[in-house]
Amino acid sequence: MSAAVFEQAHAWLAQDPDEETRSELADLIARAEKGDPAAARDLDDRFNGRLQFGTAGLRGALGAGSNRMNRVLVAQAAAGFADFLRERTAGAVPTVVVGYDGRRNSDVFARDSAELFAGAGLRAILLPRRLPTPVLAFAVRHLGADAGVMVTASHNPPNDNGYKVYLGGRDEGSQIVAPSDGLIATAIQRIADTRSVADLPRSDAYEIAGEDVVEAYVTATAAVGPAPAGVDDLRWVYTAMHGVGWETFARVLETAGYAAPALVAEQIEPDGRFPTVSFPNPEEPGAMDLAFATARAADAELIIAQDPDADRLAVAIPDPASAEGWRRLTGNEVGLLLGLRAARAAQGTEGAALACSLVSSPGLGAIAERYGLGWHETLTGFKWISRAPGLVFGFEEALGYLVNPETVRDKDGISASIAFLQLATEARVAGKTVVDLLDELSAEIGFFASSQVSIRVDDLSVIARVMAALRLDPPTAFGEVAVAQADDLLQDPSGLGGDVLRYALADGSRIVCRPSGTEPKLKVYLDVRGDSAANAATRLAAAETAVRALLQRLG
């Protein structure tokens, strides 16, 4: 291991204010200096580069080092972001709102940030307690702030945390995009290169936001989908997935007039250890098993699940044919149902548009066409979807839905839950089920089917190797279906640039391959359209088989 790594590690140790990570790093340095090869490799990994802004700001495993999430890195990020905001506001005092969820050290990172923002001369407002990410996104707009920071790693593994950045003003409360992300990264690096965290000015003169901010979010969100008058109580189950969603969601439900759900008691309180799930993500196998068990016991008609920071929504419905008796709807199924709801409400509104990411179902475009609305296909991430012109609804297949762009310019699992509950209860009044709504959707726009094949890796170089191999020798067919057109979005002159490979097949199907921006995964998205539900399912199964065979050969 190079002497430079030891030098960086000692410099980091000298400025670390956290007793736990300081002890961890001191022990690692001592073992590496004695010739322990495992310690040397670990130390090299921690200091070989630093966490950079990606799809959702900073995100990574907790621990000491520039390539981990810790108090030194957060302090550098806060000080650099403060410098960026002062330059951006040209002499005015910037206002920044800070929120945090229930993950380990979220509260510590948030308070550090508030103190550093205040010490840098900014007006810093800390949300009153651990709250969902959508409340922070709402607060940026509601308070007219110049920026917002949410300390969360959303649905990542338990040992991760993150730093999600929003901008107000002309960015209208959306997440950062280029060139802001690069400018912020440069400002952070400048702090890291020239200042010790121990010397950065701090102040306790930050404000604590009043409860009125949360109440305003509750009121606005309840108005998204108030309960239909006179409806029989829907029997449904809710899980917070050990996150922070329930307190706020419960208030929204009461305000909107919905009956209380049966709760998955083991997962209802915030717990950063996430003890009942391997990954606190409703998409992951096994994550909703307790919700299925609760629903069977309650004879429920619907399951609503939110991820730990409540910015994603998962929906499950009864399915006698499955082993659990339940099936989780895909993000595309929920997105198209909510998109149809939004399109009907916006029909005839000049300039109104729907938007989804390029890996989400093209069925949203069919809905937009049917109802005379615009349609935008964006890069992945709500930092792009939220910026679509005329947006009235946007979604991404990874369980993210933006149903109230006038108040929250990001995915919001709580407002999406209220919108879906309204759909389900209105269907119940009409003697229908969610399955009936899906059938009616297909009757309107055709038979779309989608799925995802993904591989999780320990070594990120595997993903880079597979993407490079696909670029070097592009597939000419998937199974028996020829590739009609292959697009490398890194070379796309339309501005959709990104590490994305897209294949249009001769039968009208579409396959998109990209690395995840938040997890160590390679994701392949499959979308087909058939003459019937059975035909679409057959085409999808064949495409999945072909994709798995290709990944196995390349991986």
Strand partners, 96: 124, 147
Domains 75-209 and 234-445 share a fold: yes
- For every one of its 555 residues, what pLDDT tens digit does the chain have, with 9 covering 90 and above? 688 899 999 999 999 999 999 999 999 999 999 999 999 999 999 998 889 865 567 999 999 999 999 999 999 999 999 999 999 998 899 999 999 999 999 999 999 999 999 999 999 999 999 999 999 999 999 999 999 999 999 999 999 999 999 999 999 999 999 899 989 999 999 999 999 999 999 999 999 999 999 999 999 999 999 999 866 678 999 999 999 999 999 999 999 999 999 999 999 999 999 999 988 999 988 999 999 999 999 999 999 999 999 999 999 999 999 988 999 999 999 999 999 999 999 999 999 999 999 999 999 999 999 999 999 999 889 999 999 999 999 999 999 999 999 999 999 999 999 999 999 999 998 999 999 999 999 999 999 999 999 888 888 889 999 999 999 999 999 999 999 999 999 887 665 668 999 999 999 899 999 998 777 889 999 999 999 999 999 999 999 999 999 998 887
Catalytic residues: 154
Task: Name which CATH class applies to 447-554.
Answer: alpha beta
Cα separation, 1 vs 41, whole angstroms:
8
Cα separation, 369 vs 363, whole angstroms:
10
Q: Where are the beta strands (DSSP E) in 176-331?
A: 207-208, 236-239, 262-263, 302-306, 313-318, 326-328
Q: Hey, what CATH topology would domain 75-209 get? A: Alpha-D-Glucose-1,6-Bisphosphate; Chain A, domain 3 (3.40.120)
Comparing CA positions, the residue from 208, 96, 222 lying closest to residue 147 is 96
Task: Name which CATH class applies to 234-445.
Answer: alpha beta
The domains of the chain are located at 75-209, 234-445, 447-554
Cα separation, 256 vs 239, whole angstroms:
19
